[in-house]
Amino acid sequence: MGRRSTAELGDRMTKNVVVAMANLRLVFGLLSSVLLVVSCVEDRHTALRSPQTPRRQFPEGVPSSVAPLVSRHQLRLDNGLASTPPMGWNSWNHFACNVNETVIFETGLAAKGYKYINLDDCWAALQRDSQGNLLARATTFPSGIKALADYVHSKGLKLGIYSDAGYYTCASQPGSLGHETQDAQTFASWEIDYLKYDNCFTDGTKPEYRYPVMRDALNKTGRPIFFSMCEWGIDSPATWANNVGNSWRTTGDITDDWNSMVGIVELNNVWADYAAPGGWNDPDMLEVGNGGMTVEEYRSHFSLWALMKAPLLIGCDVRNIGAEILEILANEEVIAVNQDPLGVQGKRVRMDGFSGLEVWSGPLSSGRVVLLLWNRSSESANITARWSDMGIPNDTLLTVRDLWKHETISEAEMYEICQEVPSHGVKMFILTPVSQIYLKRESYSHKMD
């Protein structure tokens, strides 16, 4: 099959984008506006392969109850990526095997930091070529993956691809088991930036043995390729994968419904202390905008993923989303929690029995704290979070910023916050200490009186 030139492809795709954009009501459209502020540090030569376990530096005042117990990163994929969780778009949750290059180009989502455009399963031909190389599927990717990568790069974005640590992928394209070096070289020659690596049709050996083979093959290419491990949490990857990948799935596949999302949050929360810059727990891609949950539920889903420092990989058809969904995916204040440079996964700090009323929290840079009130119950309810739930001294004066209302609550002396939270909804805040020292001095002088 002859490949079209990049220029031809670019022209054709530009036309497609223009047509698609005409139908968009919202800002998400033009590919040129997707050019994103990239917060990841991608200097592969500065990082890693340190024989020492680097200790995470917490700023003073980070409450110990929400700080992780251990700092574990030692050897790791030698690519210097993932200083913050990856953000982008993945084809699977919405398009599954109906992905094609037109869809990819039209997915010129303009969002605030979503830079990876990731092909999932079904991009490859069912047979390798006579030299054993992977090939793009001729019917759906006639231009080839290198041309796609060139186009994506020309828009300031990055291209991700998908393979499997088994003989076949889950949808039966060739897997990379036994072909790791060759496939990693192929991906590097196509200038791929991200590899999702699945776990179907294996030889029965443990993921601990199969995944490092691809890690080493990627390292050998010399190209920084984000390594997204997808072994579904079956072998507790959080406990060993920080040496292997930039992220690791902690659960099976998400589906677009409330119970699936809630179950995944529970499973992912178990591993909170193992996430850190360079390697993140991955509770699977976002379902926001796919239609199976209410807007309130999607707001919870997105807030929890942000707080848990999960990869923010949009999984919907961004050409067809409404204003409310766009507002969720583009909420810069919530995204900033996810991309906070401190890189500590937030977790549940309090739940009131089986009421479904929960308080989640985690430290952020500059001594700030993120607070999430989550109502899992079927009725609207008041949820109270005490500063002590988050290890903050009661006399701490804080500013409280509502990340969904985009309002700052007054600096009144408070030691708790109580808010009505709708059923299946959240309220999300950043707490910023303003004058702890002043208050301490005052209470000291009262004692002296």
Residues that bind ligand GLA (CB under 6 A): 92, 120-121, 169-171, 198, 230, 232, 253
Q: From CA 132, how far away is CA 135, in angstroms rounded?
A: 9
Catalytic residue, candidates 183, 198, 256, 317: 198
120 given a catalytic annotation: no
Q: From CA 91, how far away is CA 121, in angstroms rounded?
A: 8
Query: Is the Cβ of residue 201 or residue 415 nearer to ligand GLA in the bound state?
Result: 201
Query: Is the Cβ of residue 316 or residue 369 nearer to ligand GLA in the bound state?
Result: 316
Q: Torsion angle of alpha carbons 221, 169, 99, 17, nearest 10°? A: -10
Nearest distance from residue 196's CB to ligand GLA, in Å? 6
Radius of gyration of the chain (CA): 23
198 given a catalytic annotation: yes
Q: From CA 271, how far away is CA 249, in angstroms rounded?
A: 11
> Pairing mode, if any, of strands 426-433 and 398-402?
antiparallel
Q: Which tokens belong to 207?
A: 């993921």
Q: Which amino acid is at 284?
A: D
Q: How long a stretch of residues is the chain?
A: 449
Query: Is the Cβ of residue 230 or residue 428 nearer to ligand GLA in the bound state?
Result: 230
Query: Is the Cβ of residue 90 or residue 219 nearer to ligand GLA in the bound state?
Result: 90
Nearest distance from residue 20's CB to ligand GLA, in Å? 25
> Pairing mode, if any, of strands 398-402 and 381-386?
unpaired
165 touches 211 (CB < 8 A): yes
Nearest distance from residue 126's CB to ligand GLA, in Å? 14
**For 355, phi and psi rounded to 5 degrees?**
-70, -20
Nearest distance from residue 212's CB to ligand GLA, in Å? 20
Interaxial angle between packed helices 207-221 and 180-189, expressed in degrees from 0 to 180 and rounded to the nearest 10: 40
Query: Is the Cβ of residue 101 or residue 231 nearer to ligand GLA in the bound state?
Result: 231
Catalytic residue, candidates 216, 235, 253, 257: 253
Q: From CA 360, how far away is CA 80, in angstroms rounded?
A: 30
Query: Is the Cβ of residue 165 or residue 321 nearer to ligand GLA in the bound state?
Result: 165
Nearest distance from residue 128's CB to ligand GLA, in Å? 18
Nearest distance from residue 268's CB to ligand GLA, in Å? 14
Q: Name beta bridge partners: 79.
A: none
Q: Which tokens belong to 320?
A: 């067809």
Q: Torsion angle of alpha carbons 244, 247, 249, 255, nearest 10°? A: -160
- The set of catalytic residues is 198, 253
